[in-house]
Structure 1
Amino acid sequence: MMNMLQQYKHILVAVDGSYESELAFQKAVAVSKRNHAELFLIHIVDTRAFQNVSSFDSAMVEQVTTTAKETMDGYIDQAHKAGLDAVSYSIEYGAPKTIIARDVPKAKDIDLIMIGATGLNAVERLLIGSVTEYVTRNAQCDVLVVRTDLNNQPALATTKTKKTK
């Protein structure tokens, strides 16, 4: 009989500093441990954001990259503390949608992408469309959209109640 338990080997999680991606990261660590999988973190510097800057300021890009590196090192540290050894990261430059859905999964042989439910406000989602939506539709591997925290409580509900208080 075929083994029905899917074992993931290479898990990709996209982190962008949002609360949603923080939850995706925490769950990705847990899933990676359970599957004895390699976890690959990715942070994308959306270069389109710099196209509005009158002079393409390399110092600004450097600053963004430095901040991203610090953030990623922090995530690696958290993963190690949680008992996950096989974890690495990459900072990519370009359009997040295709990098997360296609480029990195191909290059890293990813079999599961974990991504936060959103990272955009309603206006941004309207203008550029949700990265999560795009990845869900276009990725060649399984995609897990994280909507809950580690206790499986709805993440967005908890943030909404915090704001109203």
Structure 2
Amino acid sequence: MANHYKSIVVAIDGSKEAEYAFRKSIDVAKRNQDSILNIVNVIDTRAFEAYERSSVESAQQRSEELLNGYKTQAEAASLENIKIVVEHGSPRTIITKELAKSVDADLIICGATGLNSVERFLIGSVSEAIVRSATCDVLIVRTPE
């Protein structure tokens, strides 16, 4: 584990687990002064293949609103270095292979489970894929029971 995290990625999908992951990311960013907190949402474009362009644009707008809400919370927690990132594609691939490398992430934080329980059942969770393929530290956060 790194002594100091400089670039933290927190994956947000609107789930309760992601909310807890975000809260944990605030704590980690505060302990690692001068770190950058990258709040990320990946719009899974596979779900939109059969839909028209307006559906994708609507998802983009919802995603931006969600992330801006989290950015406001991070600013209220006295964090200054915050970036929001909306990407399109497979969350498994985007988070670890593209995004983490582009922001030089040394820590990825995500919830143990997300919104898509059917996909998790069929092909495994995004968090499992992140753990398997990330080249940096990964923190998986569970909701308290």
**Residue of structure 2 equivalent to 1:127:** 122
Higher relative contact order, chain-length normalized (CA < 8 Å, sep 6+)? 2
Aligned residue pairs, count: 144
d(CA) in 2 for partners of 1:115, 1:140: 15
Task: Return the index of the structure with the highest Cα Rg.
Answer: 1
The 3 A distance-change label for structure 1 pair 142 and 5 is closer
Q: Does 1:46 align with 2:41?
A: no
Alignment of 1:4-83 (within 5 A): 6-36=3-33, 37-51=35-49, 53=50, 56-83=51-78
Task: Give the TM-score, by structure 2 length.
Answer: 0.94
Instruction: Identify which range, 135-144 or 121-130, moves more after superposition.
Output: 121-130
The answer as to whether partners of 1:13 and 1:114 remain within 8 angstroms in 2 is yes
State the Cα deviation string for residues 80-112 of structure 1 (Å, max 9, x = none): 001101011110000000111121111000000
CA distance in 2, matches of 1:34, 1:122: 33
State the percentage of identical aligned residues: 47
Q: What is the TM-score of this pair, normalised by structure 1?
A: 0.83
1:121 Cα deviation after fit: 5.3
In 1, the alpha carbon distance for the partners of 2:117 and 2:109 equals: 21
Distance 1:5 1:62 in 2: 38
Whether the aligned pair in 1 keeps the contact of 2:110 and 2:139 (CA below 8 Å) is yes
Q: Do the aligned partners of residues 41 and 5 (structure 1) sit closer, same or farther apart at CA in structure 2, a change above 3 Å counting?
A: closer
Alignment match, 1:146: 141
CA distance in 2, matches of 1:104, 1:5: 19
Q: Structure 1, residues 7-61: CA drift from partner, whole Å, max 9, x if none?
A: 111000000000000110111011001111110011010000012x2xx411111
- RMSD (Å) for aligned C-alpha atoms: 1.5
Structure 1 counterpart SS, 2:113: coil
Taking the aligned partners of 2:37 and 2:95, their CA distance within structure 1 comes to: 14
What stretches of structure 1 of length at least 5 have no aligned partner?
A: 149-154, 158-165
Residue aligning to 2:94: 99
4+ runs deviating over 4 angstroms: none
Contact 1:120 1:130 in 2 (8 A): no
